Structure 1
Amino acid sequence: MAAWGERLAGVRGVLLDISGVLYDCGAGGGRAIAGSVEAVARLKQSHLKVRFCTNDSQKSRGKLVGLLRRLGFDISEDEVTSPAPATCQILKERGLRPHLLIHEGVRSEFDEIDTSNPNCVVIADAAEGFSYQNMNKAFQVLMELENPVLISLGKGRYYKETSGLVLDVGAYMKALEYACGIEAEVVGKPSPEFFKAALQAIGVEAHQVVLSVY
């Protein structure tokens, strides 16, 4: 116990992943992992600052928070760091107009983004949207650009649903990288900028935080 006390000395915050740490997604919205609702409640009652980080790119932050609240979690939208809003900020700052290969559940996050005459491709976990036709269209857009830009909302290989393991966006990102001879810009885990944004949101330094990810 003393050793753990020494390790936690100076810790001011906790970054928590969501999928695979708080709940397993799946049919009917998924299910909370045993003890996770209570653990979050205890953390929020402590002196520690808590931030939730997710690479979920099938749901907007609002939809994700709504699901978590239905599962019993005390969580608000402004406590969540996710890749879609960060990507939108990058697109606006750089004047990029994306061809979107994304899930319909997260499309609302891009409502204010100009998608006419694309000069980049944004890829997310599109699930059934990863058809040959859609992948080939993204490939064609990139190949027609003089300086192709591919932005990916994460690079995970797979994740867990209640029905089993599921391919994540990383596999499809790698296919486009290989076909086009380019390297994607990753927004989300494991990008250092993603975690820096979460740390800035709660006002702590990296050495002052405990990280729990799946």
Structure 2
Amino acid sequence: MAAWSERLAGVRGVLLDISGVLHDSGEGGGVPIPGSVEALARLKRSQLKVRFCTNESQKSRGDLVGLLRHMGFDISEGEVTAPAPATCLILKERGLRPHLLIHDGIRSEFAQIDTSNPNCVVIADAGESFSYQNMNKAFQVLMELDNPVLISLGKGRYYKETSGLMLDVGAYTKALEYACGIKAEVVGKPAPGYFQSALQEMGVESHEAIMIGDDIVGDVGGAQRCGMRALQVRTGKFRFYIYLTLTCVHGMRPSDEHHPEVKADGYVDNLAEAVDLLLKYAHQ
């Protein structure tokens, strides 16, 4: 692999995942990952542009920012690209009226959206609302439509909370895709349009940007397909993926650093190490 000076040269903008990079979510809002508050502060004092790119779909953008600010992070709502506001724009542009299978925490984001006589389904990380009854209602809405539209706020398989790994929206989206014989439209990582929107808001070209995340597929692979560079931190879900390799009943599964399809441009222990490297080698 090339030296860090080559891998990071020319970077002008940094996209940061939130969960697993800045903090681990969980009871009481979760906890900051050690060193991440200070690392973000150093990054924002630099000449590098910073934007947060998250698939969070249990909290509104305002609530998420409020939680992070309470933890000590320097972050504003206008710096965050999140899937719920982006989905609302799509619904309005296309005249779609959704049946919402979402968490109550983001229902306020859809307050101005017409949900009467649904002609599509929007699915997010609904948590405890992923009951059979609610999944079946979404299935029925889709099956009654001549041209069914399923919009998913992300495609993640799982994420990490302080209590352990949690099943993410991607698994439930796959169930509806299979049952209805359709393909979901993803708003969020790893969708190319989502990354492009974040880059446009930050004002940098893809070759000038780098993504830092804990998800080898959604963060790293998605960013690289858009022409960006990407670093993976060994926090969040990363280390748990390694633990899973020891318990897989079908044999050893490769760690994220040996993923069969995606390889990051670099692996770092945490955000603090990533910032150290960026401040030393980026924008050269």
Give TM-score scaled by structure 1 length: 0.98
CA distances 1:131-167 after superposition (whole Å, capped 9, x unpaired): 0000000000000000000000001000000000000
**Unmatched 5+ stretches in structure 2:** 215-284
Where does residue 10 of structure 1 map in the other structure?
Answer: 10
Q: CA–CA distance in 1 between the matches of 2:131 and 2:40?
A: 38
Where does residue 89 of structure 1 map in the other structure?
Answer: 89
Where does residue 71 of structure 1 map in the other structure?
Answer: 71
Where does residue 34 of structure 2 map in the other structure?
Answer: 34
Where does residue 128 of structure 1 map in the other structure?
Answer: 128
- SS of aligned partner of 1:155: coil
Letter of the structure 1 residue corresponding to residue 143 of structure 2: M
Stretch of structure 1 that moved more, 37-46 or 4-13? 4-13
The runs of 4+ residues in structure 1 deviating greater than 2 Å are 2-9
Where does residue 151 of structure 1 map in the other structure?
Answer: 151
Q: What RMSD, in angstroms, separates the aligned Cα atoms of the two structures?
A: 1.0
- 1:213 CA displacement: 1.4
- SS of aligned partner of 1:159: strand
The residue correspondences of 1:103-182 to structure 2 (distance < 5 A) are 103-182=103-182
Where does residue 46 of structure 1 map in the other structure?
Answer: 46
Letter of the structure 2 residue corresponding to residue 148 of structure 1: P
Q: CA–CA distance in 1 between the matches of 2:189 and 2:70?
A: 25
- 1:3 CA displacement: 3.4
Give TM-score scaled by structure 2 length: 0.74
Q: CA–CA distance in 2 between the matches of 1:120 and 1:64?
A: 27
Letter of the structure 2 residue corresponding to residue 117 of structure 1: N
Q: CA–CA distance in 1 between the matches of 2:159 and 2:9?
A: 33
CA distances 1:68-95 after superposition (whole Å, capped 9, x unpaired): 0011100000000000011000000000
Q: CA–CA distance in 2 between the matches of 1:6 and 1:172?
A: 40
Q: CA–CA distance in 1 between the matches of 2:117 and 2:9?
A: 53
- 1:8 CA displacement: 2.4
- Give the fraction of aligned pairs with identical amino acids, expressed as a percent: 80
What is the aligned length?
A: 213
**Unmatched 5+ stretches in structure 1:** none
- SS of aligned partner of 2:175: helix
